[in-house]
Amino acid sequence: MAGLANSQELDLVIGGFLRRLPRLDPIIREITEGTPLLLKLELKDPPLAAEIDLTCTPLVIRTDSTAAGTVGMAGRSEDFQRVLLGLLPVAKGINEKKLLARGSIALLMKAVPLFYVVPYIYPSYLESIGRADLIEAGEYPPLHADQPVEGIMNQIISALAYGAGYLMGFIKKRIAPRLDILAALEAMGQGLRKAGPPHQV
Amino acid sequence: MGKSAESSDALRALRAAVEAAKPEEAWRAGRPAVGYFCSYVPVELLLAAGLSPVRLRGLGQEDSSSGDAYLSHLTCSLVRHIAAAVLDGAYDFLAGQISVNTCDHVRRGNDVLVAKSDLAYHGYISVPHSLRAGLFPWYLEELSRLKASLEDHFQVRVGGEALNQAITRMNRVRERVQKLDDLRKGPAPRLAGADAFTALVAARSLPPERFVELADALIAEAETLDPIAGIRGRVLLIGGELDDPRFVRTIESQGALVVGDLLCFGSRGLGRVVEIGKDPLSSLARAYLHQIPCARMMDEFPQRWQALLDLYQASRADGIIFTRIKFCQIWANEVHNLRHRFETHPLPMLVLEREYGTVSTGQVKTRVQAFLERLETRRND
Amino acid sequence: MPILGRERAREWETVWATLTRMDSLFAADPEGRGLSGMLSNLRGFLLDKFQKSDAGQPAVWYNLGFNPELIWALGVVPFCVSELAALSSIVGDQADTEAFIDLAESKGYSADCCSADKAGIGALLRGLYPEPACLVGINTPCDSQVAVVQAMAEQRNRVPLFVIDVPPYDDERTFRQVAGQLRELIPFLEKHTGRRLEWDRLRKVCETTNRTSQYLWDWMEWRSRAPTMQPSKVAAFTMVLMIGFSGSRWGLEIARALAEDARRKVETGARYFQEKARAIWYQDPVWWDIQIYDWMEAELGLVIPMDIFGYYASEAWIDTSSEESMLFGLARRMVNCHPMSRQFRGTMKRYIEDFMVLHERFQADCGILAGHIACKHSWGGIGLFKEACKKADIPLLVFEFDMFDPRILTYKELQFELKRFVEEMVLPRKGRAKPGAEHGRVGE
């Protein structure tokens, strides 16, 4: 994979992205329904072992631990980069043995939605660290089968969120290319936390 | 010090029969000896065929390695010891063996004997796991097939009269078993539980007449003995396979007195006389199928529970010691079910898991001591 | 996540939510169609159960060796004691299964018994199954069933129990004996459920079973081809099908999904790893984390074309022409086709013969005896089994583990056993025997 030929770079790029996740703690906790799991990511070629520890608040990212994790996902770094970009959906990765999952299915399924969301922010992150070269062009397959959004309030909020996302995208593309999407999401997370009790561990 | 059973010649002879490296008495009877695995095999059928029935046991073998090699360390140690005893030649006087689908362990023990032993005859019966009336004809048919197989192999004919004679012979044994039971149960027992149990185990190896002779002598002597003193607690011994009087002796060494049992080698399988009638095979089938049920009988826990309550009351017991051999699954959950019943009908119970062939004396003593203290506290409260 | 708009016990909701998420995840990938088909029918099956239970329809409990056709035909709700534990491990939270096991053991249920039953009893003790009208207990496939049925019957101040006794033989007399007991079972079920059996309805259920059988045979046929294209992790599902779904439309659809997925994968021919060795997995699957089969394929090139739990024998066809023929067919199927019951309840001869047949038919290079510690019938025959494999020159891995409890043998320990066996025993031997004989190539 161009540009990620060694562990140092991998740690800088993917590790750096993961280390930003605590900023999104309230959002991630919503996505994972406050499940106190420890997701172990084991990348190889080049290697990187990382943990997303949701057993504490705010969540902690570790890249220096040998713990097995509650659940795990292993694969080649190149494939994992494609997962983060949304080019390799988790299901496809598992079916094609590019991603090897481990642990309680229920907990894994709580963690997997992270990978539905990450592809919407990872490219912005790569741009922000000057590694837009890593963003591959390609067809973006659906990450999961759509489930009908139930309830009028869910539908209204989903529509509003879509509008906000569209607006951010428009501004970033047309007006302010350096717009920090992660900061915007972080602010959204803070709002979530302020408005109601977040999932606590 | 009062007179005890220790000086009894009859007891010594019964002990010798239990501890014999080979059940020579049966062997010397001059008839082919056939081993059998389970209390659901009617020994009367073997007697009527002119055979010497010998209940298969580990015969004091300390080493079960030749059985372990086939059966693994996760199998019941009784079955492993039996397999080892057969494979190592301790049962070289047997003309054959009869197995039952008692449990997975016995089934596999049978597989090993069929495949690896020199025994010339292998009989097998499938005993239903329920006493429902609809299943009786199957058991009867299985006995009938076993009879035919014995007749064919040993070139004998087992007629109704021979069967009734065998039933009569075994009924005498059963009557003595009942008497020994009564001796244990009384308000001031004169016979230690271990001694009574020795006699019951011997009943599975000795020719009926020899057992009757020794049992009568023991019973007569017991009436002249002094009541056993220093009893801290009267207990019932229940559970799976136990053929080792040393285990009972260890329990009693702490002041317990075993006043009754519901064990396979104890009085459970021999406690009731068999009806003599026109259709002796049916009589046998009925009696054997309807003995106090083994835990393999899937719908009979209530009957076992009732038998336990009856015996508990009749023997004035203070508590229960449940024992089973490690890995025995069919007896394993008796504990769960008993505890379930104890929630509404509490009875004190000690559970002791064992390995066949050894008695963890220190461990058993400690646990029994603690249990007896519990019984004493309960009584004083 | 509520089910049918109602709050349920957390363990059932976990299974439901996980199934829903898995279905959503895998349905998006064409390669996941088979799995998705299984998952969506599993959801339908659960919904139907909850719907019927909510409507107050009687429930009938049973244990592992029984097939529920008669219960379906009566239109009542079948609940296998191990159902929730199995679902929790396979499509739920394994921690729930372990909690069930711990609860049962804390109430005196023996650790020596099968974890499928321990977990089942734990779930019963937690009150996670509806009140039963009655219980059908069968002594197959093993002693653990003899034990669990008695513990089930002791629940709720004694549940009315009907015992099916299966003799350890494989002949017509045995089938007739079991068929006779099924005949006796009918009035028992009618009495306790208040339903009357309609024979036409049973006929339809049996026809569904027959169609299911055909799909399972087709499925086996597709899986027998080398290289095997469908993942190893579904090789054991016949067993799940027979216990939980036999005779139901969900069972039929799951079998159809399995068979069509296997066919499609063979026809498209897409390969994602190099198949280096093929093993017959004998005894119990790793239910506590079936994803380990993906690891075996990707990292070791080890494929399980067939598992003893997946093997579906040819005597399963039910003649629906008369009441007697249906009962006979159901009995024969339960005795001789139900995985485990077929091999475990009789002599080692059948057990060994089936292994040899599978080894040959599925072109295996080796055998893996995953020795579930509670399977005494298997451990009791291990010496004869090893001898047979040695005689047939089949490399064999034997290890102790527990199919529902990773605390006996951990994931890492299991990986170590498998890796050592494949890399140090099977592959070098295979290389010597037939150079370059491995099946398939990446991307083929």
The helix (run of H) or strand (run of E) holding residue C294 is helix C292-295
- pLDDT over 70 at C440, yes or no: no
Nearest chain B Cα to C156, which residue? Answer: B340
Query: Chain C residue closest to B126 (CA)?
Result: C167
Any domain includes B93 = yes
- Is residue B321 domain-resident? no
Q: Which chains neighbour C (Cβ–Cβ under 8 Å, 3 or more pairs)? A: A, B
Contact A49, A42 (CB under 8 A): yes
CA angle B364, B366, B372 (to 5 degrees): 95
Average pLDDT in the C256-274 region? 94
Q: How many domains, chain A?
A: 1
Secondary structure (3-state) at B123: strand
Residue of C nearest to B115 (CA): C384
Say how many CB pairs under 8 Å bridge B and C.
154
Q: What is the pLDDT of residue A148?
A: 72
C289 to chain A: closest CA residue: A103
**Position A52 in a domain:** yes
The whole domain housing A125 covers: 7-195
Closest by Cβ to C383, choosing from B71, B74, B104? B71
Percentage above 70 pLDDT, chain C: 97
Show the domain range for B141: 23-157
Is the per-residue pLDDT at C441 higher than 60? no
What pLDDT score does C332 carry? 97
Q: Which residue of C has its CA nearest to B109?
A: C380
Cβ–Cβ of A100/C91 closer than 8 Å?
A: no
Q: Please write the tens of the pLDDT for every residue from C384-426.
A: 999 999 999 999 999 999 999 999 999 999 999 999 999 999 9
- What does the pLDDT average to over C19-30? 91
Residues of B (78-117) whose Cβ lies below 8 Å from C = 79, 101, 103-105, 107-112, 114-115
The residue assigned the tokens 């089949």 is: C394
CB atoms B337 and C400 under 8 Å: no
Residue of C nearest to A71 (CA): C289
Q: Specify if A2 maps to a domain.
A: no
CB contact under 8 A, A106 and C14: yes
Question: Residues B284-325: pLDDT tens digits?
Answer: 999 999 999 999 999 999 999 999 999 999 999 999 999 999
Q: What is the mean pLDDT of residues C274-300?
A: 97
Contact of B143 with B179, CB cutoff 8 Å: no
Question: Where is pLDDT greater, at C33 or B325?
Answer: B325
Calculate the alpha carbon distances from B139 to B22, B265, B282, C163 in Å: 31, 22, 9, 15
Interface touch B329/C113, C-beta < 8 Å: yes
Q: Which of C142, C148, C165 is nearest to C377 (CA)?
A: C142
The reply to whether residue C154 touches residue B341, judged by beta carbons under 8 angstroms, is yes
**Chain A contact for C18 (CB, 8 A cutoff):** yes
Contact assignment for C177 to B130 by CB distance below 8 Å: no
CATH number for C201-433 (one of 2.40.50.100, 3.40.50.11900, 3.40.50.1820, 3.40.190.80): it is 3.40.50.11900
How do the pLDDT tens digits run along chain B, 381 residues long?
A: 456 777 889 999 999 999 987 877 777 778 899 999 999 999 999 999 999 999 999 977 778 999 999 999 999 999 999 999 999 999 999 999 999 999 999 999 999 999 999 999 999 999 999 999 999 999 999 999 999 999 999 999 999 999 999 999 999 999 999 999 999 999 999 999 999 999 999 999 899 999 999 999 999 999 899 999 999 999 999 999 999 999 999 999 999 999 999 999 998 888 789 999 899 999 999 999 999 999 999 999 999 999 999 999 999 999 999 999 999 999 998 999 999 999 999 999 999 999 998 777 899 999 999 999 999 998 887
> From CA B148, how far away is CA B43, in angstroms rounded?
15
Whether B270 maps to a domain, the answer reads no
Residue C22 confidence (pLDDT): 94
* Core vs surface per residue B274-304: b (16+ CB within 10 A) or e: beeeeebbbbbbbbbbebbbbbbbbbbbbeb
How many separate helices (H) and strands (E) can be counted in chain A? 10, 5
User: In this complex, which of A97, A107, A113 lies closest to C273 when CB atoms are compared?
Assistant: A97
Is residue C222 within 8 A of residue C266, CB to CB? The reply is yes
C10-199 maps to which CATH number?
3.40.50.11890
What does the pLDDT look like over B221-236, one tens digit per residue? 998 999 999 999 999 9
Residues of C with Cβ-Cβ distance to A146 under 8 angstroms: 24
**Closest approach of chain C CAs to the CA of A166, in angstroms?**
24
Please give the pLDDT value at position B272.
Answer: 86
A62 SS3 class:
strand
- Cβ neighbours around C391 below 10 Å, total: 9
Q: Are C79 and C62 in contact (CB under 8 A)?
A: yes
Residue of B nearest to C113 (CA): B329
Q: Examine residue B169 and state whether it is found in any structural domain, yes or no.
A: no
Chains A and B touch (3+ CB pairs under 8 A): no
Taking residues C375-384, report their average pLDDT: 97
Give the pLDDT score at C174. 98
Listed by number, the residues of chain B in 12-31 with a beta carbon closer than 8 Å to a beta carbon of chain C are none
- Burial class of residue A156 (count of CB atoms within 10 Å of its CB; 0-12, 13-18, 19+): exposed
Are C28 and A102 within 8 A, CB to CB? no
Whether residue A201 lies inside any domain: the answer is: no
Low-confidence ranges of chain A (pLDDT < 70): 1-3, 197-201
Nearest CA among C133, C15, C134, C23 for reference residue C85: C15
Is residue A200 in a domain?
Answer: no
Closest CA–CA distance from residue A33 to any residue of chain C (Å): 11
Cα–Cα distance for residue pair A101/C294, rounded to 1 Å: 8
Residue C261 class from Cβ within 10 Å (0-12 exposed, 13-18 middle, 19+ buried)?
buried
- C150, B71: Cβ pair inside 8 Å? no
B residues 125-144 closer than 8 Å to C (CB): 126, 128-130, 132, 134-135, 138
At residue A168, the pLDDT reads 86
Check CB contact under 8 Å for C149 and B298: yes
The answer to whether residue B138 sits within a structural domain is: yes
Q: Do A143 and C28 make contact, defined as CB atoms within 8 angstroms?
A: yes
Can you state the angle between helices C172-193 and C323-336, rounded to 10 degrees? 110
- Provide mean pLDDT across the span C366-371: 98
Q: Under an 8 A CB cutoff, do A109 and C17 touch?
A: yes
Torsion of the alpha carbons at A94, A96, A99 and A100, rounded to the nearest 10: 70
**C91 with A105: Cβ contact below 8 A:** yes
| Domain assignment of residue A87, yes or no | yes
**Per-residue confidence (pLDDT) for residue C161, from 0 to 100:** 98
Strands C302-307 and C277-283: parallel
Is residue B350, in this structure, part of any structural domain at all?
Answer: no
**Do chains C and A have 3 or more beta-carbon pairs under 8 angstroms?**
yes
CB-CB under 8 Å, C94 with A103: yes
In this structure, is residue B57 part of a structural domain? yes
Q: In the sheet that A48-53 helps form, which strands lie side by side, from edge to edge?
A: A60-62, A48-53, A38-44, A71-76, A99-103
What's the pLDDT at A28? Answer: 92
pLDDT at position C436 is 46
Spatial distance between the Cα atoms of C272 and B380, rounded to a whole number of angstroms: 74
Q: Is the pLDDT of residue C265 over 80?
A: yes
How many residue pairs from chains A and C have C-beta atoms closer than 8 A? 92
Chain B, 337 to 356: residues with Cβ < 8 Å from chain C are: 337-341
Residue A200: per-residue pLDDT: 56
The domain spanning residue B143 has which CATH number? Answer: 3.40.50.11890
Residue C374, token pair as written in the block: 């509670």
pLDDT at C391: 97
State how far the Cα of A19 lies from the Cα of A22, in Å rounded to an integer: 7
**Res B1: pLDDT:** 46
Query: Above 60 in pLDDT, residue C433?
Result: no
**What is the three-class DSSP state of B222?**
helix
Assigned token pair, B255: 């002041």
Residue C429 falls in which region: left (phi positive, over 0), alpha (psi -120 to 50) or beta? alpha
In sequence order, the 6+-apart residues with CB closer than 8 A to the CB of A81 are: A1, A4, A13, A14, A134
ipTM of this predicted structure? 0.95
Residue C25 has φ and ψ, to the nearest 5°, of: -70, -50
CA separation, residue C256 to residues A193, B296, C23, C35, C324 (Å): 47, 39, 17, 11, 28
Please answer whether residues B36 and B11 qualify as being in contact, where contact means their C-beta atoms are separated by less than 8 angstroms: no
The domain tally of chain B equals 1
* Least CB–CB distance from B335: residue in C108, C146, C348: C108
Same fold, C10-199 and C201-433: yes
Whether residues A90 and C22 touch (CB distance < 8 A) is answered with no
Peptide bond into A58 cis (omega under 30): yes
Q: Using CB atoms within 10 A of its CB, is residue C359 exposed (0-12), middle (13-18) or buried (19+)?
A: buried
Domain boundaries, chain C: 10-199, 201-433
Q: Give the closest of A95, A98, A102 to C411, CB-based.
A: A102
Within a domain: B67: yes
pLDDT the model gives residue A199: 61
Nearest C-alpha in A relative to C290: A102
Give A-chain residues touching C231 at CB under 8 angstroms: 95
- Please state, for a pLDDT cut of 90, what percent of chain C lies above it: 91
Q: Which residue has better confidence, B8 or C325?
A: C325
CB contact (8 A) between residue B108 and residue C137 = no
> Which subunits count as partners of chain A given 3+ CB pairs below 8 Å?
C
